[in-house]
Amino acid sequence: MSRPSVVVVGDALLDVDLVGEATRLAPDAAVPVLDDAVESLRPGGAALAATLTAREHVDVTLVTALGDDESSRRLRDALPRSLTLIEVSLRGELSRKVRVRAGAQSIVRLDYGHGVACASTRDRAVVREVLMNANATLVSDYGKGVSAALRDVLARAARCTAVVWDPHPNGATPVPDAAAVTPNRAEAARLAGGDEQSRSLREVAANARTLFEKWAPKSVCVTMGADGALLSFGDDSPLVVPAPGVPCADPCGAGDRFAGAFAAALAAGAMPSEAVAAAVFAASEFVRVGVARAFDPATAGTVEGDVFQQAQLIRERGGTVVATGGCFDLLHAGHIETLRAARSLGDFLVVCLNSDNSVSRLKGVGRPLVPQTDRARVLGALECVDGVVIFDEDTPTEVLRRLRPHVWAKGGDYDGRSLPEATALPQWGGQAVVLPYLDGRSTSALVSAANDVRG
Q: What is the pLDDT of residues 298-355, one digit of tens each?
A: 444 333 447 888 888 888 878 899 999 998 888 888 888 889 999 999 989 999 999 9
Q: What is the mean pLDDT of residues 258-281?
A: 93
Q: Lowest mean pLDDT: which of 62-71, 116-125, 210-219, 368-377?
A: 368-377
Q: What is the mean pLDDT of residues 253-269?
A: 93
Q: Is the pLDDT of residue 165 over 90?
A: yes
Q: What is the percent of the chain where pLDDT is above 70? A: 89
The whole-number pLDDT of residue 53 equals 92
Q: What is the mean pLDDT of residues 372-397?
A: 87
- Residue extents of the structural domains in the chain: 5-23+31-294, 307-454
Q: Is the pLDDT of residue 390 over 70?
A: yes
Is 444 or 150 the better-scoring residue by pLDDT? 150
Cα 98 to Cα 89: distance, rounded to the nearest angstrom: 23
Q: What is the mean pLDDT of residues 1-15?
A: 91
Does 5-23+31-294 carry CATH code 3.40.1190.20? Answer: yes
Q: What is the mean pLDDT of residues 209-231?
A: 95
Prediction pTM value:
0.70
pLDDT level of residue 253 (50, 70, 90 thresholds): confident
The whole-number pLDDT of residue 166 equals 96
Q: What is the mean pLDDT of residues 36-51?
A: 92
Catalytic residue numbers, as ranges: 256
Q: Is the pLDDT of residue 296 over 60?
A: no
| Sheet with 12-25: strands ordered across | 32-45, 12-25, 96-102, 105-112
Mean pLDDT computed over every residue of the chain: 87
The whole-number pLDDT of residue 369 equals 85
The whole-number pLDDT of residue 399 equals 92
Domain with residues 307-454, CATH architecture: 3-Layer(aba) Sandwich (3.40)
Q: ∠ CA 405-297-277 to the nearest 5 degrees?
A: 65
Q: Is the pLDDT of residue 417 over 60?
A: no
Backbone angles phi, psi at 206, to 5 degrees: -65, -40
Q: ∠ CA 390-393-394 to the nearest 5 degrees?
A: 110
Q: What is the mean pLDDT of residues 23-39?
A: 87
Q: Is the pLDDT of residue 80 over 60?
A: yes
Q: Is the pLDDT of residue 438 over 60?
A: no
Q: What is the mean pLDDT of residues 398-412?
A: 90
Q: Is the pLDDT of residue 412 over 80?
A: no
pLDDT level of residue 416 (50, 70, 90 thresholds): very low
